[in-house]
Amino acid sequence: MKPINVGLLGIGTVGGGTWAVLARNREEISRRAGRDIRISVVADKETAKAKKLTGGKARVTADAFEVVRDPEIDIVIELVGGVTVAKDLILAAVDNGKHVVTANKALLATHGNEIFAAAQKKGVMVAFEGAVAGGIPIIKALREGLTANRIEWIAGIINGTSNFILSEMRDKGLPFIAVLEEAQKRGYAEADPTFDIEGVDAAHKLTIMAAIAFGIPMQLDKCYREGIAKLTQADIRYAEQLGYRIKLLGITKRTDKGIELRVHPTLIPAKRLIANVEGVMNAVLVKGDAVGPTLYYGAGAGAEPTGSAVVADLVDVTRLHTADPEQRVPHLAFQPDRMSSLKVLPMDEVVTAYYLRMQVEDRPGVLADISRILADASISINAMVQREPAKGERQVDIIMLTHQTREKSINTAIGKIEKLPVVTGRVTRIRLEELQ
Ligand code: HSE
């Protein structure tokens, strides 16, 4: 059979990795796909660099739009990034009847509904394994491997940069800002590092996973986000003493009232496997009703790991290229006319447990006042630690872990606690999940 023709848009880190994986494993990949997969044209603004990388084995152009219109091209790989030109390129490729492979999480989380609808109409595939957790085949697992299950929840370490920062803060006792600089030096962080540390990148990936897990449209605007910039050594140490680690988690959960969709620092029991995922590695824990919990671990970024996901999509698309569009796996796992209308819950309605740290005066009745406020809000205390005051100090740290309660209740209680004259400053509140 004649090779399937691919146009690669962007030969940067991931594009270069995709090229390298495909070139190195060409023979095996072709045995799997049933025909040769050939990147015949590469579009990149840096044409000299692209020519050097491809060594004359593909035509190089600076005009990506020329590629999406090229009648010889069957599949377009979009690795341009961003949400403007990339969107125009993908929609133009779809409009020209081409299948698309993309690793563009930001684009899918913001404009995925429109892109998938256009692809559906045209009968073409838009594959996006590389968009979530780099080399981990989590899209395939959620959409196909776990298809028998009613997915109950997903909790993922899906941003390597923030996980690296938290690991280094814990291991080396370094402050947040010093580790962020190190992450940037090593090239882990996104071009705009706030995307990593403020949970934006994780929110993109979580939005995509929630859509596939529950059959809901992409709703990035409803995803709650809180980053890691405010985490202190004190909280990391106290969490550790109580048997927990702090991780930036993306959590999505199906509840009776709706879907929880949230990214924030989270205390998780240190004994859970996922709590021991360190450095830039990613891991996604999925709870299905039939299979129970399953854990997926691996490199969440990088040239060849993400290239691995992109090439896997190329093989899938190649295999299904001639199949009846109706028989293909739906983009978002559920048939487009059978999507769920479950709403995404506002953060106030989310139910979880909490770690609270407050600085108080060390004198009788203080604890009773705080406990009274929590009891009045029906918040039950699960564990409590009071640090001994340093010599000559009258202020002490109190750390409380609560049982599950509604976010709205804890916020009201915190407001009241902060008004007590014996409490200094703000109460630190970090959510806690047992992940059982
Ligand atoms: N900046 C991302 C991370 C890269 O740190 O995980 C891949 O999305």
Atom of ligand 1 nearest to the CA of 301: 7
Residues 252 and 365 in one domain: no
Cβ of 188 closer than 6 Å to ligand 1, yes or no, is yes
Distance of CA 131 from the midpoint of ligand 1 (Å): 10
Cβ of 104 closer than 6 Å to ligand 1, yes or no, is no
Please report the pLDDT score of residue 388 as a whole number: 77
Determine phi and psi for 285, rounding to 5 degrees.
-105, 125
Instruction: Report the CATH number at residue 311.
Output: 3.40.50.720
Q: Work out the average pLDDT over 35-54.
A: 98
Q: Work out the average pLDDT over 57-81.
A: 98
Pocket test for ligand 1, best of 139, 196, 280 (most atoms within 8 A of CB): 196
Q: Work out the average pLDDT over 372-377.
A: 97
| Distance from C-alpha of 419 to C-alpha of 412, rounded to nearest angstrom | 11
**pTM given for the model:** 0.96
Cβ of 196 closer than 6 Å to ligand 1, yes or no, is yes
Q: Is the pLDDT of residue 156 over 90?
A: yes
Residues 270 and 198 in one domain: yes
Cβ of 302 closer than 6 Å to ligand 1, yes or no, is no
Say if CB 193 and CB 164 are below 8 A apart.
no
| Distance from C-alpha of 57 to C-alpha of 42, rounded to nearest angstrom | 10
pLDDT in tens, 399-428: 999 999 999 999 999 999 999 999 999 999
Residue percentage of the chain with pLDDT more than 90: 91
Of 99, 146, 129, whose CA–CA distance to 323 is shortest?
A: 99
Q: Is residue 255 part of a domain?
A: yes
Q: Atom 2 in ligand 1: which residue has the minimum CA distance?
A: 159
Q: Is residue 344 part of a domain?
A: no
Distance of CA 32 from the midpoint of ligand 1 (Å): 29
Residues 276 and 171 in one domain: yes
When pLDDT is cut at 50, 70 and 90, the band that residue 135 belongs to is: very high
Instruction: Report the CATH number at residue 381.
Output: 3.30.70.260
Q: Is the pLDDT of residue 285 over 80?
A: yes
Atom of ligand 1 nearest to the CA of 306: 7
Atom of ligand 1 nearest to the CA of 159: 6
DSSP 190-213: -SSTHHHHTSHHHHHHHHHHHHHH
* The domain boundary residue, chosen from 315, 338, 361: 338
Q: Is residue 343 part of a domain?
A: no
Distance of CA 237 from the midpoint of ligand 1 (Å): 26
Please report the pLDDT score of residue 184 as a whole number: 83
Q: Work out the average pLDDT over 48-70.
A: 98
Residues 319 and 359 in one domain: no
Q: Work out the average pLDDT over 54-70.
A: 98
Q: Which domain holds residue 61?
A: 4-135+303-338
Residues 146 and 265 in one domain: yes
Distance of CA 379 from the midpoint of ligand 1 (Å): 37
pLDDT in tens, 137-153: 999 999 999 999 999 99
Specify which residues 7 forms β-bridges with.
41, 76
Cβ of 159 closer than 6 Å to ligand 1, yes or no, is yes
Residues 8 and 124 in one domain: yes
Residues 125 and 184 in one domain: no
pLDDT in tens, 218-277: 999 999 999 999 999 999 999 999 999 999 999 999 999 999 999 999 999 999 999 999
Q: Is the pLDDT of residue 189 over 80?
A: no
Please report the pLDDT score of residue 217 as a whole number: 97
Q: Work out the average pLDDT over 113-135.
A: 97
Residues 152 and 287 in one domain: yes
Residues 103 and 144 in one domain: no
Cβ of 190 closer than 6 Å to ligand 1, yes or no, is yes
Residues 39 and 103 in one domain: yes
pLDDT in tens, 260-275: 999 999 999 999 999 9
Distance of CA 291 from the midpoint of ligand 1 (Å): 29
| Residues tagged active-site | 205
Say if CB 393 and CB 359 are below 8 A apart.
no
CA angle, residues 171, 172, 178, in degrees to nearest 5: 125
| Distance from C-alpha of 413 to C-alpha of 429, rounded to nearest angstrom | 11
The continuous run of DSSP H or E covering 397 comes out as strand 395-402
Q: Is residue 145 part of a domain?
A: yes
> Please, is 326 exposed, middle or buried when counting C-beta atoms within 10 Å of its C-beta (0-12, 13-18, 19+)?
exposed
Cβ of 135 closer than 6 Å to ligand 1, yes or no, is no
| Distance from C-alpha of 26 to C-alpha of 292, rounded to nearest angstrom | 37
Please report the pLDDT score of residue 192 as a whole number: 78
* Residue 222, token pair as written in the block: 């409803």
Q: Work out the average pLDDT over 340-349.
A: 96
Pocket test for ligand 1, best of 128, 167, 197, 201 (most atoms within 8 A of CB): 201
Distance of CA 195 from the midpoint of ligand 1 (Å): 9
Residues 21 and 129 in one domain: yes
3-state secondary structure of 30: helix
Cβ of 300 closer than 6 Å to ligand 1, yes or no, is yes
Say if CB 379 and CB 413 are below 8 A apart.
yes
Residues 75 and 213 in one domain: no
Q: Work out the average pLDDT over 71-95.
A: 97
Q: How far apart are the first and last CA of the chain?
A: 50
Q: Atom 7 in ligand 1: which residue has the minimum CA distance?
A: 301
3-state secondary structure of 414: helix
Cβ within 8 Å of residue 367, ≥6 positions away? 386, 398
| Distance from C-alpha of 158 to C-alpha of 163, rounded to nearest angstrom | 8
Pocket test for ligand 1, best of 14, 129, 161 (most atoms within 8 A of CB): 161
When pLDDT is cut at 50, 70 and 90, the band that residue 62 belongs to is: very high
CA distances from 410 to 268, 354, 370, 399 (A): 19, 8, 12, 15
Instruction: Report the CATH number at residue 157.
Output: 3.30.360.10
